[in-house]
Structure 1
Amino acid sequence: MIDTLWLIGIGTGSPAHVTMEGMQAIREASVILVPHKGAGKDDLASLRHGIIAAAGSTARIVPFDYPIRDPALPYLERVERWHDEIAARWQTALADVGVSGPVALLVWGDPSLYDSTIRIARRLTPQPTLRVVPGITAVQALTAAHGIPLNDVNGPIQITTGRRLRDHGWPIGATRLVVMLDGEASFQHLDEPDLLIWWGAYLGMPEQVLDHGPLADVATRIVAARQAARAQHGWIMDTYLLGRPQDAH
């Protein structure tokens, strides 16, 4: 049973992304759950283990296997069932572990931004006391890597997903758009003129790859870079910002 659950944002690949509050929480946790996401993604678990070691933690490390979403189900039902199964696996992993203090999960990026760990935690029974420690987001890591501001002067910014960009196209009235969770490089299907793109993969990691320029000129190059990086590492996480030339100052 989980009485107290800490969700600790760890940034997007660099141990230096973890805040002092996050490091302190890792040191004070009694048990740390570490997900194993399947073949080819061992470096994600290794990164978490490296952060735990850097924090000087003496917590018991408990691994669990991530379930696979059923592609045959409608999207929302698929996600709901997937979240249910993740929560069940947390509880199963801890069933035979004597927990005498806080249980922690190290969350990629920040638990508040396009991450469902908080929602999954709400599925636990009984409901644990929840603490969320913020982390560096992929959005911050992307703009820092390119050395650019996120927004134009006094301008709005929208954050969306690759699925919504594919299904609905460029949002009406958008001037700058951050796209996350895009496994299909949906930017290559946009017909908006004069767009610029700032793209990055493995942000904060030694494997970091960046590209930017007019979308019409660099889209094919970015798609090829994504394919090569996925083939090399077995996985990829990337994020990009789209905007117009008049916004790029």
Structure 2
Amino acid sequence: MIETVTLVGIGTGNPGHLTLDGAEALTSADTILVPRKGTGKDDLAEIRLALLDRLGVTARVAFFDYPVRDESLPYLERVERWHDEIAARWAEAAGEAKSVALLVWGDPSFYDSTMRIALRLTTRDRLRVLPGITAVQALTAAHAIPVNAVNGRILTTTGRRLRDGGWPEGAETVVTVLDGECSFKALTGEGLYIWWGAFLGMPEQILDHGPLDEAAERIIATRAAAREAHGWVMDTYLMKKIDAGE
């Protein structure tokens, strides 16, 4: 039965995003859980395995498969049940291991549910979380832009909320994560500027930016081509009113 869980943020896949604390935690781990995302996404597991190999990690690696969400359920219930099933699969993969570690994309405390899942199997005082580089940090660094205007407010939201509510009232800078449907396309004509990036920090990194009215269709096409080529894509974007452009 799992007693302690260590979550190690690994940034967006670049080994350079791993902190020294994270590297130490992985090299001293007993068992490391590695998810398989499904058909066409095996390289997500391979990136994790390559990172472990680079560090010289000798811990047992246990694989688990992600379950499929039940799309017939209301959203919150769907996610809750999905997390329950993931936790059960962690426990099954861990076997007799009492202490496990997981490599988490980005930062385990930022727009990620890995901590919520871990707390189904252990207590908060037995959960160790080591931060990593977020996609937002990687995006703004790649474009060499600050995330905020001087004395400006920042709103981080999801594609779902952007689709449902449009441009948030009074917003100056909006960062959008978890958007598989390019929700920015609904905001053309509103005088926005977009900075977009996929595979941030990785050799496959793709960047684009410009007035949203000009860049939207270009980004959509680029994203679709990248997904077709790799079987998956991780991307994020930041938008500002046009007068806050470059």
Distance 1:153 1:125, change over 3 A: closer
1:87-236, aligned counterparts within 5 Å?
87-95=87-95, 97=96, 99=97, 102-124=99-121, 129-191=126-188, 193-236=190-233
SS at match of 2:52: helix
> Does the aligned pair in 2 maintain the 1:161–1:182 contact within 8 Å?
yes
1:30 corresponds to which letter in structure 2? D
Q: TM-score, normalised by structure 1?
A: 0.95
Across the aligned residues of Structure 1 and Structure 2, the Cα RMSD in angstroms comes to 1.4
- Aligned AA (2:21): E
With over 3 angstroms needed to count, the CA separation of the structure-2 counterparts of 1:61 and 1:141, relative to structure 1, is same
With normalisation by structure 2, the TM-score equals 0.96
Per mean C-alpha deviation after superposition, the further-off stretch among 189-198 and 151-160 is: 189-198
* Identity rate, percent: 63
User: Which amino acid is the alignment partner of residue 19 of structure 1?
Assistant: T
User: For structure 1, which runs of at least 5 residues remain unmatched after alignment?
Assistant: none
Distance (Å, rounded) in 2 between the aligned partners of 1:165 and 1:76: 17
- The AA in structure 2 aligned to 1:184 is E
- In the alignment, the residues of structure 2 paired with residue 192 and residue 9 of structure 1 have an alpha-carbon distance, to the nearest angstrom, of 37
TM-fit CA distance, 1:2: 1.2
Residue 133 (structure 1) shift: 0.2
CA contact (8 A) 2:194 2:210 kept: yes
Matched with 1:77 is 77
Quick one: structure 1 residues 127 and 94, their matched pair in 2 at CA, closer, same or farther if it must change by over 3 Å? farther
Contact 1:11 1:17 (8 Å CA) reproduced: yes
Runs of 4+ in structure 1 over 3 Å off: 125-128
Q: Cα deviations across residues 142-200 of structure 1 (Å, max 9, x unaligned)?
A: 00111111101111111000000001111111000000010100000115622000000
Deviations 1:64-116 (A, max 9, x none): 11111111111111100000000000111122x4x36x310000000011100
**More divergent stretch after superposition (184-193 vs 29-38):** 184-193
Q: SS in structure 2 opposite 1:229?
A: helix
- Paired with 1:14 and 1:192, the residues of 2 have a C-alpha distance of 36
- The Cα of 1:248 is off from its aligned counterpart by 3.3
Q: Which runs of 5+ in 2 are unaligned?
A: none
1:67 aligns to 2:64 (yes or no): no
Q: Secondary structure at the match of 2:25?
A: helix
Relative to structure 1, the CA distance from residue 223 to residue 49 in structure 2 (aligned partners, 3 Å threshold; closer, same or farther) is same
Q: Could you tell me whether the CA contact under 8 Å between 1:5 and 1:128 is conserved in 2?
A: no
Q: How many pairs are equivalent? A: 246
